[in-house]
Amino acid sequence: MEPAAKQANKYAADDQEHNRLLAEMAEQSTDMISRHTPDNWEFIYASPAVEHLLGFSVDEIVGMSAYELYHPDDVEDFKRRAPSVSYERGTYTHTYRFRRKDGQYTWLESTSRSIRDPDSGELKEILVVSRDASHRINAEQTNRRLARVLESSSDLVAFVDLERVVTDLNEAARSVLALDCRKELVHLRDLFQPQSYQILIDEGLPAALCKGQWKGESEMVGAEGKLVPVMLEILAHRAVTGHVEYFSLVARDMSAQRALEAERYRYQTEVSHSSRLITMGEMASGLAHELNQPLTAIVNYVRGIERRTADTESVPVELIEKPLNKIAGTALRAGEIIRSMMDFTRKRQPHQQAIQLRSLLDDVIQLCSSQASAANVQLDNLISDRIPVVEADQIQLEQILLNLLLNGIEASTGNEQTEPAQVWIDAIEGEDQQVIIRVHDQGCGLPEDDLEQLFQQFYTTKADGLGMGLAISRSLVEAQGGQLWAEPASRGGAVFSFSLNQIDPD
C-alpha cells in the first residue's frame, strides 16, 4: 500500500477512535449533552444524563421542543438574550429554569454552540451542554437575600480580612460611622475608640480565631468623633480547608438604651431623694423632740452658770468647767443629729464603699428612736461585730434600713401590752459571698395571698401611706446588687430580708 494511503487510513482510524471516546464521554458524563434543531429547538439527541437531570428518558425527550420545557418567565429572556444569557467566542451561556418530568422546575446552566455547514454556512443544529445549577442559584439567591437583610439591618455590620482591613460595611455602619470602604481604605482601628480597639486585638480577635466567636461591650467612633456604645459580636468565617478567611463584626448601637438607662437612673435618684425628704418630714416631730432635749439642756446649764456667778465678780474656772463641758457635749450631740439629718437628705451621686453594718445601724436607730418611743417599740441592734464588711452606698443603705425600721415600728403600733413591742435587726452570712440583713417585727403580719404586691408601687396597707417605701427600697437594694423579700415570722409579725455583697478581706 502506498505511504499516502497508509497515512490516510491512520488518520481515519484516529478520527474513529476520537469520535468513539467523545461518544463514550457523552454517555458517561453527568452533564447533559444535547443536539437541537435551529428553528424550534427540538431535541435531536440527548445523553443519558437527561434522566438524572430532568427525569425523562432519552426516547421520551427526543422530538420535544426545549421551548415546551422552559419556565414561562425564562423563554422571553432567552429569545431577547437577556442578562441571564452571555455570549463569548461563538458560544452562549444561559441560566434558566427547565421543567422536569414530575412538573417541578430545576435550574440549569447551558452552553450552546451553533453547528454550520462548512461550505454554505447554513445553520444545521445547536449543540448544548447542560449542568445542574440549582445549588449555585439557590446559594446566590440566599446570599442576595442575606445581603438585603444586612443592608436593611439597624445593626452595624463590618467584614474584615486577616490584615484587619475593612472590606465591606452595611448601610447602617456607613451612616453611623461616616465611613465608606468602597471609596477609601478603612482599617479596623478606624472603627473603634483606641482602648476598645486594643481589647479587640488582645481578646476579641484571638477568641474568635480559637472559638469561632466573641461577644463584649465596646465603643465605636461615629460621625464627628462621637463615641457610640455598642454590644459587639465577632464571628470567624472559615474556608472548606478549615482556615479562617475573614471576620464579620455585628455591633448593636446601644446609645438609645444607655440614654434610657441614664434617664431611669436620674429618675430613680430623684425619687429616692424625694422619698428621703418625705421620710424626714414624717419624722419631723420626733426629730424636733430629739433636738429639743439637748437644746433645753444647754439652756438649763447656761442658766445654772448665771445663777452661780450672778453675785461674784471673779469666777473660778473650776466652778464652771463641768457645766461648760456638758454644754459642749450636748451641743455636739445636737449637731450630730442635725448632721445625720443633712447627710440623709443631701442630694448626691451614689458611691459604693466598705460599710460596717453594726455601727451604721446604731446611727439609723438613733435617727428613729423618737418614733419608736412614741409607739412603745423597743429597737435592738443584734448584728454581730463578726459579720463581714459589705459594699454599698451609705445613704441608700441608711434609707433602706430606715424605711424597714419605720414600717416595723408602725406595724407594731397599738400594742396593748405594758411591755414594749420589739423590732430587731440581725444579719447572717449567705451563699455566694453575701450578707443577709433581716428586720423583724411583732406586728399584724403579712397578706397571705401575694407577698410580691407589697413591693408594687402605690400599694399600701396604711390609711395615709403613699405605697412607695418598699418599692423604692427594693430598687435601692437591687442597685447595690442584692435582693429584697418578705416572709411571715414564725411567731407572728413579719421579717423583711435583703442581701448585700460582702467585701473579700483579701
Splitting the chain (506 residues) into consecutive groups of 10 residues, what average pLDDT does each group show? 53 53 67 88 91 92 91 76 50 86 91 84 87 84 73 83 89 86 86 92 91 91 88 88 87 82 66 57 54 64 68 66 68 62 58 86 79 82 89 82 83 69 88 88 72 57 54 79 84 85 73
**How many whole angstroms from its chain centre is CA 102?**
49
Q: Tell me, what amino acid is at 394?
A: Q
Q: Which residues contact 417 (CB under 8 A, 6 or more apart)?
A: none
The reported pLDDT for the residue numbered 467 is 47
**Parallel, antiparallel, or unpaired: how do β-strands 377-381 and 421-429 relate?**
parallel
The size of the chain, in residues, is 506
The reported pLDDT for the residue numbered 82 is 46
Rounded to the nearest 10 degrees, the angle between the axes of helix 255-282 and helix 284-309 is: 50
The reported pLDDT for the residue numbered 352 is 81
Q: Tell me, what amino acid is at 186?
A: V
The span from the CA of 250 to the CA of 149, in Å, is 13
C-alpha cell at 455: 413591693
C-alpha cell at 176: 453611623
The torsion angles phi and psi of 106, rounded to 5 degrees, stand at: -130, 150
3-class DSSP state of 379: strand
**Exposure letters 59-77 (e unless 16+ CB within 10 A, then b):** eebbeeebeebbeeebeeb
The reported pLDDT for the residue numbered 447 is 66
Beta-bridge partners for 105: 99
The span from the CA of 383 to the CA of 429, in Å, is 11
**Cα-based distances in Å from 21 to 18, 28, 44, 495:** 5, 10, 20, 94
The reported pLDDT for the residue numbered 375 is 81
**Cα-based distances in Å from 408 to 243, 298, 441:** 66, 33, 5
- Residue 492 is classified by DSSP as S
Q: Tell me, what amino acid is at 477?
A: V
The span from the CA of 467 to the CA of 284, in Å, is 20
Percent composition of the chain: helix, strand, coil (DSSP 3-state, to 5): 45, 25, 25
The reported pLDDT for the residue numbered 404 is 86
Q: Tell me the Ramachandran region of residue 222: left when phi exceeds 0, alpha when psi lies from -120 to 50, beta otherwise.
A: beta
Q: Of 378, 458, 366, 453, give the one whose Cα is nearest residue 415.
A: 378
- Residue 467 is classified by DSSP as S
Q: Of 154, 193, 204, 160, give the one whose Cα is nearest residue 174.
A: 154
Q: Tell me, what amino acid is at 371?
A: Q
**How many whole angstroms from its chain centre is CA 298?**
60
- Tally the C-alpha atoms within 13 A of residue 51's C-alpha that lie toward its C-beta: 8
The H or E element spanning position 110 is strand 105-116
The H or E element spanning position 336 is helix 317-345
CB neighbourhood size of 499 (10 A): 20
The span from the CA of 356 to the CA of 388, in Å, is 8
pTM score, whole prediction: 0.43
Cβ proximity of 87 and 81 under 8 Å:
yes
**Cα-based distances in Å from 107 to 26, 185, 211, 267:** 21, 39, 37, 61
